[in-house]
């Protein structure tokens, strides 16, 4: 149990500190960053599989169009999520990104109700209603939908739904997703390089080093998360997951200087209240 808490906490802490990494890549557009992240993640994951001599699952996947199709869809959702997140960090929307991951647990409740026929308890419905009020308030006071937060929450919510019902574990699933995306990613990088464009031919050594580091930085937190999820209860994971958006919020305000005006704070406050209700209800139910 204690090891699982450490693994999960390390994963969420790494995700919470991701803005520090992507801020090093502001000179590279978000789409290209994701292309590099995809390719170097695949290289790292293939290295892990080679060390473990764990290849048998690949043959079974290629013989199962249904499994392959599900992971093509999850790969596309992951790509949209990554592009949105990197763009948000690079363009001064770290607070909006943190809001998306604060909303995510409540999106998961709604998706479970619609697609998995789960029956949320009254306390969970109350949390969803309060969070919806917070999103509505943020929309009204800003004059527009908080689209960054909603895209991040919805894409990762559906991604999590597909992975929940998927047939592969964390390592195998992420490897397959990067295999699906890598032909496009590698093709784009080669095309840009051939035409004298892109970071590989224009950027300095430090930027290229950061791009290469994106592979292990993508894969290692996910593997830590998988190790933690096997060892702790869902209620514990539900509380630990707030480490990530909280760190992003603190970085956005205190390090990157994003404005956190009172009107915005009220919307965040409603969502935090919803998360408090959600967490307490889950803890109380697990205790019973």
DSSP 63-117: T-HHHHHHHHHHHHHHHHHHHHHHHHHHTT-HHHHHHHHHHHHHHHHHHHHHHS-
CA–CA gap between residue 166 and residue 176 (Å, rounded): 12
The b-or-e profile of 177-197 (16+ CB within 10 A means b, else e) is bbbbbbeebeebbeebeeeee
CA–CA gap between residue 181 and residue 175 (Å, rounded): 10
Please give the distance of CA 70 from its chain centroid, rounded to a whole number.
Answer: 18
Long-range contacts of 141-147 (CB under 8 A, 24+ apart): 141/263, 141/264, 141/266, 141/267, 142/264, 146/96, 146/99
Enclosing H/E stretch for 182: helix 170-194
Tokens found for residue 165: 């019902």
Q: Residue written as tokens 């802490």?
A: 13
pLDDT number for residue 227: 76
Tokens found for residue 228: 């933690």
CA–CA gap between residue 234 and residue 144 (Å, rounded): 34
CA–CA gap between residue 168 and residue 156 (Å, rounded): 17
pLDDT number for residue 88: 95
Backbone angles phi, psi at 166, to 5 degrees: -75, 165
pLDDT number for residue 76: 96
Over its length of 288 residues, how does the chain's per-residue pLDDT go in tens digits?
Answer: 578 888 888 988 999 999 999 999 999 999 999 999 999 999 999 999 999 998 989 888 888 888 899 999 999 999 999 999 999 999 999 989 998 888 887 788 788 888 878 787 888 788 888 888 888 888 887 677 889 999 999 998 898 888 877 788 888 988 999 999 999 999 999 999 998 888 988 889 999 999 999 999 988 988 888 777 767 765 566 667 788 988 998 899 899 998 888 888 888 888 888 878 877 887 787 777
pLDDT number for residue 84: 96
Q: Residue written as tokens 């603190």?
A: 250
pLDDT number for residue 211: 94
Q: How far is CA 4 from CA 74, 200, 222, 235, in A?
A: 26, 38, 13, 13
Confirm if 124 and 279 have CB atoms less than 8 A apart: no
Confirm if 168 and 71 have CB atoms less than 8 A apart: yes
pLDDT number for residue 40: 95
Confirm if 123 and 129 have CB atoms less than 8 A apart: no
CA-nearest of 188, 176, 174, 248 to 218 is 174
CB proximity list for 92: less than 8 A, separation 6 or greater: 256, 258
């Amino acid at each position: 149990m204690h090891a699982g808490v450490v693994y999960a906490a390390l994963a969420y802490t790494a995700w919470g500190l991701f803005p520090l990494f992507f801020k090093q890549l502001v000179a590279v557009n978000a789409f290209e960053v994701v292309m590099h992240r995809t390719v170097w993640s695949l290289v790292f994951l293939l290295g892990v599989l080679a060390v473990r001599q764990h290849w048998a699952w690949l043959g079974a996947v290629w013989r199962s169009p249904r499994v392959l199709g599900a992971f093509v869809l999850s790969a596309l959702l992951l790509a949209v999520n990554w592009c949105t997140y990197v763009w948000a960090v690079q363009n001064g929307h770290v607070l909006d990104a943190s809001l998306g991951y604060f909303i995510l647990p409540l999106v998961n409740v709604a998706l479970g109700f619609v697609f998995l026929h789960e029956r949320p308890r009254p306390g969970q419905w109350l949390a969803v209603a309060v969070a919806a009020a917070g999103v509505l308030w943020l929309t009204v006071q800003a004059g527009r939908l908080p689209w960054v937060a909603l895209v991040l929450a919805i894409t990762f919510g559906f991604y999590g739904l597909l992975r929940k019902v998927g047939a592969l574990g964390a390592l195998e699933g992420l490897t397959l997703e990067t295999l699906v995306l890598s032909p496009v990613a590698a093709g784009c990088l080669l095309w840009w390089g051939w035409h004298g464009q892109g970071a590989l031919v224009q950027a300095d050594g430090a930027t290229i080093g950061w791009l290469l580091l994106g592979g292990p930085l993508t894969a290692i937190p996910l593997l830590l998360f998988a190790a933690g999820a096997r060892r702790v209860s869902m209620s514990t994971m539900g509380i630990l997951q707030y480490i990530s958006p909280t760190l992003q919020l603190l970085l956005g305000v205190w390090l990157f200087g994003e404005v956190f005006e009172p009107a915005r704070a009220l919307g965040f406050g409603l969502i935090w209240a919803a998360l408090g209700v959600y967490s307490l209800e889950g803890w109380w139910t697990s205790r019973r």
